[in-house]
Chains A and B, each alone.
Chain A
Amino acid sequence: MNCDSEEIIIKKALNTIQTPKYDIGLEVEKKIKSHKYPMSFKKSISVALAVCLCFMLSVGVMAANIPSFRNLLSIVTPDIALMLQPVEISSEDNRIKMEVVAAMNDDEMVVIYVTMQDLLGNRIDETLDIYNYSLTGARTFNCQIVNYDEKTKTATLRMEANGGEKLNGKKVSFRITSFLSDKLIFDGVETGVNLSKVATINDSQTIPLDMNNIPGGGGDLYKELKSQGTIKVLKTDQLKLTLPKINFVHISNIGYIDDRLHIQTKWMGDGVDDHGYFYFVDNSGNRIDIYPSSITFGVDESGNTNYGHDYQEYIFDLDNINLKDLKLMGHFVSNGNYTEGDWKTTFKIQSVGEEKKTDCNTKFDTWVTNSISVSTMGITLVGSGETKNLEEISISANMTDGSVQTFNSVRSYSEDGKVKLKYVSPLPLDVSNVKSVNVNGIIIDKFN
């Protein structure tokens, strides 16, 4: 074909469009075999009309034709139901069926409702805990069981993913590769430790621990201990204090090091996520607010510390706290079942509402906001710096009818100096009726 100058320009432009290859044949064959075709126009019109009716009447109209979605609507609150988009795509492996029932999202946060059903046995129960899972395009995750139906052995989970970018309208893949169940919880475990007889440990009874060669730890003291490089921990296995009805952990040493109470535990069970903590109660059984820090480590054959998960040492800073009349109690959790598999679904997420965004420049102690966006799911602040004190930020939405909508929870995450704070609304936020947003008394009302 002989091209004129206009055609040359057009050709070059169109050739810049990237159309990556994918296995069309596989998808088509799968759908032909399962008779699960993508929606035809006629069918899509029916669905569109159903959507229309839902808008006009109620969510229940659509639900009548979609059992799993209808089931979900009976579990969630009506406010949440209004925000949900039905998905209903399932995946089966190892005779366990996972179904993504519905989702709601904006440009950087997705909430999906997933059901897990054991078609064979009792591997799914009310203690289900998803262990390994992912959603493409998002960074931080949270997954919790919200319902368990004993009759159908089906658990419903709410998975929240944050930290994405331009998620709306994207195809995402949700994948689960392992989960825990048959969880055993031991709360109020009496340790039998007489706190008044706990001895101070001299240096010869301690061993050094390289804080840069451990799997991790937590608590208020962790950062300080980590900065020390090498710390002293109790010599391992100097005693074996078993805990009632518990065979997966015992106290392997206890004592004071540098005025801090160290309680060393040895974990013996097979559970991949066995865990626990200690706490104190007074004579009346009231919990005392003293939170330990903890460090996980292992030891080699010579008794020297190394990288491992066998021991966990809990460290209490007990400055000005009298342990007399206090009892040491424990809370421990073990999982009987650890199930692996591959449950994966891909679906498109589409927000139910509009989103407004504007640039803004509000300075806080340690960070500065650059933009603010308002969606049905809440308000997102994006900025730079480091958020230290989230309580310093007060946010509300002023509505056109004069009412004020507040937010009951906040998610924060930082990456490459970029900070995102997501204030999640307990009720769907009617974006078209948001007049302004109040950030610490500063009114932002010019949205794009």
Chain B
Amino acid sequence: MQASNLDYTFATGGEYELRCAIDLYGQSLLRYCHNILCDYFEAQDVVQITFIKAYNKRRSFKSGTSLSAWLYRIAYTTCIDSLRKKKLLFFMSQTNTESMHFVHQTNVDSKFISDDLKAALLTLSPAERALVFSRVIDEKSYADLETIYHVSATTLRKRYERAKIKLSNALKEVDSYYKELEETK
């Protein structure tokens, strides 16, 4: 099923429409969440929750609008919820900075994201990571981003410019990474 058709049928549809939505947007949402969370397995969980939420609340989706933007909105808020939850659990169970370092380390999975890149990404806030990914990789327009983040295009533009500089500086600080990318430029 085509994306444009799904924009009209999802709200009144069932499991078939859900499967179509997953086929169309599943992998790109997984990448998006992975980028925000910097944790592949966490991203898997969040994407599953996103589609379950979307399915359960499909009646509230405004037929004819962008299903993609609606799903991205759900995925974004679910990522933020997941990170809040992690933070809350962390503060409940850890009391010193040594432990904080440990928790940070154990969440690292260098198999999917190099440690250097992850360190650079973590200099951004989750909202900034989401925005940078949406612009640079998904190449979403500011009009789409307004729908996803519920923030005006002007504000998003400013935020994006700041985040972009922050991330590129962080990448430049990671010597090996920067050199390697420079060579392939």
Contact = CB atoms under 8 A, between A and B. Distances in A.
**Interface of chain B, main secondary structure:** helix
B165 A6 contact: yes
B129 to A, nearest CB: 10
B108 to A, nearest CB: 8
A347 to B, nearest CB: 11
A7 interface: yes
B102 A15 contact: no
Contacts of A24: 22, 26-27, 30, 44, 47-48, 51
Given A17-B112, A41-B81, A9 B40 contact: no
A356 B98 CA distance: 9
A31 to B, nearest CB: 6
In which size bucket is the chain A interface? 35 or more
Contacts of A17: 31, 34-35, 112-113, 117
Residue among A8, A9, A27 with max Cβ neighbours from chain B (10 Å): A9
Interface in A157-182: 168-171
Interface of A: 1, 3, 6-22, 24-25, 27-29, 31-32, 37-38, 40-41, 44-45, 48, 51-52, 55, 107, 168-171, 348, 351, 354-356, 432
B67 interface: no
A51 B184 CA distance: 49
Interface string B2-27: 00000000000001001100110011
29 contacts: A1-B135, A8-B185, A9-B171, A10-B164, A12-B181, A14-B35, A14-B133, A19-B27, A24-B27, A25-B19, A27-B48, A29-B15, A31-B48, A38-B45, A38-B48, A38-B52, A40-B49, A41-B85, A44-B85, A45-B85, A51-B89, A51-B92, A55-B93, A171-B41, A348-B41, A354-B99, A354-B102, A355-B102, A356-B98
B89 A7 contact: no
B114 A41 contact: no
Contact of A432 (B15, B53, B99, B133): B99
Residue among B51, B117, B133 with max Cβ neighbours from chain A (10 Å): B51
Nearest to A167: B106
Contacts of A27: 44, 48
Contacts of A37: 48-49, 52
A358 to B, nearest CB: 13
Interface of B: 15, 18-19, 22-23, 26-27, 30-31, 34-35, 40-41, 43-45, 47-49, 51-53, 55, 78, 81-82, 84-85, 88-89, 92-94, 96, 98-99, 102, 106-107, 109, 111-114, 117, 120, 132-133, 135-137, 139, 164-165, 167-168, 171-172, 177-178, 181, 184-185
Given A25-B23, A28-B55, A41-B85, 9 more contacts: A11-B136, A13-B117, A13-B177, A19-B30, A25-B18, A38-B49, A48-B88, A107-B106, A169-B106
